[in-house]
Structure 1
Amino acid sequence: MLNIMEVHETNQMIEQEKLDVRTITMGISLLDCATDDLDALCERIYGKIYNHAKDLVATGKQIEREFGIPIVNKRISITPISLVAASACKKPEDFVQIAHTLDDVAHRVGVNFLGGFSALVSKSMTPAERMLIESLPQALAETERVCASVNVGSTKTGIDMNAVALMGRIVRQVSEATADTDSSGNSKLVIFCNAPDDNPFMAGAFHGVTEGDAVINVGVSGPGVVSKALDSARGKDFEFLCETIKRTAFKITRVGQLVAQEASRRLNVPFGIIDLSLAPTPAVGDSVGEILEKIGLEQVGGPGTTAALAMLNDQVKKGGIMASSYVGGLSGAFIPVSEDKNMIDAAQSGCLTIEKLEAMTCVCSVGLDMIAIPGETTPATISGIIADEAAIGMINQKTTAVRVIPVIGKGVGEMAEFGGLLGRAPIMPVNQHSCEEFVARGGRIPAPIHSFKN
């Protein structure tokens, strides 16, 4: 139970420090929708999502009003569509039809995003999975709320380099298909290694096959709260600093637990996990980069950045684990460029480079996230970036991901404008040396020796 002092602290975090519940995400299994009739499949998918999620947005708003806790997004994740539609889809355009169905039902129930237009190809690709991937440029260009992900590797299976090579081409095609909006289609596409089954955060959310028929997952974010708390730690040693972060993460997670349990009870859907991820926004004071600078860096990207981020991520996880028995998803600190004011500033000044961001992904929650790169970047170079990030995840037994955006018609130093929560990003330079021969080899990079555990 929360005591009166904790209630006061929570109110202060909400009113002054930008604490919010970033998302209530309802996961819905579509496995029982499968059929070999495409029209019937679309009808079943629409009906099941609508029946489960029709009250999700209204319930979220009701909890907001009653508890005074901002709930920014209400979202849906579904079973990876490549599994559900394998029998019904005979060509990529069939998957596009399903994407339109998903977008239509997302609009009707009022959620801002629906994730799970996904394929899991860490070892190899089925014909259906390849067709879904090939449908992505059209599907993402023609829908507003559908989010996609592709898992190309894991610690247990290695990295499917055929899928990596294909995704380099697809990312480029998605950019071209959405060139009129600064190639924003790629803001809805994530390429994973070791993708988690229970991630409530877009664009990489999907409802894993190990999950039940429906579940409520909550994502809580509070970089502004952590940043404010660190004001009391100026000049103090690391022991004091770590305790401050851990205690703050504990309080933030408790707020998420309260919201998750209420949403679960009111919607009569089981509670799944709390994902405590410091996910920034473009707003001043709501920045992971600012936290790292308060820890003692002149600017994020300079020497000490990776160590500071590692410490931050670890303390966030420790605080969250103490607050809830069901912490899951990604949980830690996100480092997207476009969504974080201090990251944007560091990238513009040249202090933060893609190479430094790659080093930071070894210790953060996800990976190379919302990074705008020159529109002329080749598919092979994009594949090389994906392979590097997947290798970090595979070897270190952690989730890594790539969400890069080649902005067609723009080059280094220009800005890409995505708007809203996605913010804006400077076009960052990419190493121009070719990796085409490496990517073109095909086949699979084997799993590391430490994967052989059973």
Structure 2
Amino acid sequence: MINRFEVDETNKMIEQEKLDVRTITMGISLLDCIDSQLDKVNEKVYKKITSYAKDLVEVGHEIEVKYGIPIVNKRISVTPIALVGSAACKTAEDFVTLAKTLDQAAKEVKVNFIGGYSALVSKGMTQAEELLIRSIPQALACTDRVCSSVNVGSTKTGINMDAVKLMGEVIRETALATRERDSLGCAKLVVFCNAPDDNPFMAGAFHGVTEADAIINVGVSGPGVVKTALEEVRGQNFEVLCETIKKTAFKVTRVGQLVAQEASQKLGVPFGIVDLSLAPTPAVGDSVAEILEEIGLESVGAPGTTAALALLNDQVKKGGVMASSYVGGLSGAFIPVSEDQGMIDAVNRGALSIEKLEAMTCVCSVGLDMIAIPGDTTPDTLSGIIADEAAIGMINQKTTAVRLIPAIGKKAGDTVEFGGLLGYAPVMPVNPYSCAKFVNRGGRIPAPIHSFKN
């Protein structure tokens, strides 16, 4: 059992080292909202979300006060809307009405974000799924709190290159549709391979069809806590280093489990998982890059960076699994550029490129995350970058993702500002050579041989 002593032990972490519960995310199934009439679908969706999540924000505040643990975001994830709207939506505009309904429901219950404007198309696309994907630019331009994700591949099915090509076009269109806000819409859009059903982190959260009617998932983060712990063992060997990370991850995960169980009890909704992901913020001292530099790198991007990140990710997972029987989601280390001051500094000093970030994604929790690129980047190049990341995920049997922001009107070396947890980002150059003939072949890259395990 978790006791109050374990929480008291984390007071220093909270007050001095920026430990926080990054999110309480309520997953809500909307499968029972499917209807052939669009008005009824919108009505059912709004009613179910506002009914189930009406107390979510208030309960989050109560837990914050009770334990003194900051809970940064309260969020909702829902069944992929491509499924929910499949019977009623005959045009892309029909799906946009559902996006507006999600946005209205999120505002009504006062959550920060709602995720699940999504389609799962790793092997092929239904007509409804294609319509939803084509509606994404408009949907993200006319809403404030809706987040979207598309899963284009998996280890079991291979990579749907038709969907990859389409997503390159959609990202470009989303950037254009939100150009007046530094293409902010792209910050709410993720392209996945091997997307998990229970991820509480935005923008990629959705409520998987294998989940219960409603669930509580909690995401915990504490890069500053890990960095401070490593400062105490500076210069010691890898055994000591790894043990320190594991023990710290254990303590952080226990905090997350306590919050998850408390929220579950108060809301009358089953506890799902704790996701321990070292997710940085723009705040100084809350950086994954600084952890890697504390491990021994002069700068993130130096030789040894991928090995250091692999070590960090693995020890975080090991510590988390020992702390809770229900660790899930992504769990590990995130390397978003715009949200991590240390990553931004490394880019600005010329130590970190997209190619090095891609290598790092082989061993981190997600992938190319919150990276601003020149606004004139072509859809084919965007699709090529997505395909590369999906291939890493497919071959390595892990989740990978792409969240790129083609900053319209900006070139390499410029800066884009997003604000809040999204921070700001230097615009990074991309390889100028074309992959158009590759991404335009059409069809599907088959699953790897090691996927056949039945």
Q: Confirm whether residue 67 of structure 1 aligns to residue 62 of structure 2.
A: no
CA distance 1:92–1:228, shift in 2 (3 Å): same
Q: Confirm whether residue 18 of structure 1 aligns to residue 18 of structure 2.
A: yes
Match of 2:39 in 1: 39
1:255-284: CA deviations, max 9, x gaps?
000000000000000000000000000000
| Residues in 2 aligned to 1:173 and 1:163: alpha-carbon distance in whole angstroms | 15
Match of 1:271 in 2: 271
| Residues in 2 aligned to 1:296 and 1:217: alpha-carbon distance in whole angstroms | 34
1:332-351 matches, cutoff 5 A: 332-351=332-351
Shift of 1:6: 3.8
Match of 1:225 in 2: 225
Q: Confirm whether residue 149 of structure 1 aligns to residue 161 of structure 2.
A: no
Match of 2:215 in 1: 215
Shift of 1:5: 6.1
Shift of 1:231: 0.7
| Residues in 1 aligned to 2:81 and 2:88: alpha-carbon distance in whole angstroms | 11
1:72-151 matches, cutoff 5 A: 72-151=72-151
1:48-447 matches, cutoff 5 A: 48-447=48-447
| Residues in 2 aligned to 1:324 and 1:118: alpha-carbon distance in whole angstroms | 29
DSSP-derived class of the 2:9 partner = helix
Structure 2 length normalisation: TM-score?
Answer: 0.99
| Residues in 2 aligned to 1:335 and 1:86: alpha-carbon distance in whole angstroms | 35
Q: What is the letter of the counterpart of residue 257 of structure 2? A: Q
DSSP-derived class of the 1:326 partner = coil
Segments of structure 2 that go 5 or more residues without pairing to the other structure are: none
DSSP-derived class of the 1:362 partner = coil
Q: What is the letter of the counterpart of residue 430 of structure 2? A: V
| Residues in 2 aligned to 1:247 and 1:160: alpha-carbon distance in whole angstroms | 40
Shift of 1:396: 0.3
DSSP-derived class of the 1:90 partner = coil
Is the contact between residue 2 and residue 258 of structure 2 (CA under 8 Å) also seen in structure 1? no
Shift of 1:234: 0.5
Is the contact between residue 415 and residue 424 of structure 2 (CA under 8 Å) also seen in structure 1? yes
CA distance 1:36–1:288, shift in 2 (3 Å): same
Shift of 1:3: 6.4
Shift of 1:235: 1.1
Q: What is the letter of the counterpart of residue 254 of structure 2? A: R
| Deviant stretches of 4+, over 2 Å | 1-9
CA distance 1:102–1:422, shift in 2 (3 Å): same
Q: What is the letter of the counterpart of residue 235 of structure 1? A: G
1:329-356: CA deviations, max 9, x gaps?
0000000000000000001111000000
1:264-306: CA deviations, max 9, x gaps?
0000000000000000000000000000000000000110000
DSSP-derived class of the 1:409 partner = coil
| Residues in 2 aligned to 1:453 and 1:117: alpha-carbon distance in whole angstroms | 32
Shift of 1:2: 5.2
Structure 1 length normalisation: TM-score?
Answer: 0.99
DSSP-derived class of the 2:381 partner = helix
Segments of structure 1 that go 5 or more residues without pairing to the other structure are: none
| Residues in 2 aligned to 1:7 and 1:71: alpha-carbon distance in whole angstroms | 14
DSSP-derived class of the 1:233 partner = coil
| Residues in 1 aligned to 2:150 and 2:272: alpha-carbon distance in whole angstroms | 23
**Alignment size in residue pairs:** 454
| Residues in 1 aligned to 2:443 and 2:93: alpha-carbon distance in whole angstroms | 27
Q: What is the letter of the counterpart of residue 357 of structure 1? A: L
| Residues in 1 aligned to 2:2 and 2:92: alpha-carbon distance in whole angstroms | 52
Q: What is the letter of the counterpart of residue 211 of structure 1? A: E
Shift of 1:191: 0.1
DSSP-derived class of the 2:253 partner = helix
1:360-402: CA deviations, max 9, x gaps?
0000000000000000000000000000000000000000000
| Residues in 2 aligned to 1:122 and 1:2: alpha-carbon distance in whole angstroms | 40
DSSP-derived class of the 2:336 partner = coil
Q: What is the letter of the counterpart of residue 51 of structure 2? A: N
1:207-242: CA deviations, max 9, x gaps?
000001000000000001001111111010000000
DSSP-derived class of the 1:176 partner = helix
DSSP-derived class of the 2:402 partner = strand
Q: What is the letter of the counterpart of residue 54 of structure 2? A: K
| Residues in 2 aligned to 1:404 and 1:432: alpha-carbon distance in whole angstroms | 16
Q: What is the letter of the counterpart of residue 143 of structure 1? A: T
Q: What is the letter of the counterpart of residue 331 of structure 2? A: S
Shift of 1:9: 2.6
Shift of 1:7: 4.0
| Residues in 1 aligned to 2:12 and 2:283: alpha-carbon distance in whole angstroms | 18
DSSP-derived class of the 1:150 partner = strand
| Residues in 2 aligned to 1:116 and 1:88: alpha-carbon distance in whole angstroms | 17
Shift of 1:44: 0.1
DSSP-derived class of the 1:239 partner = helix
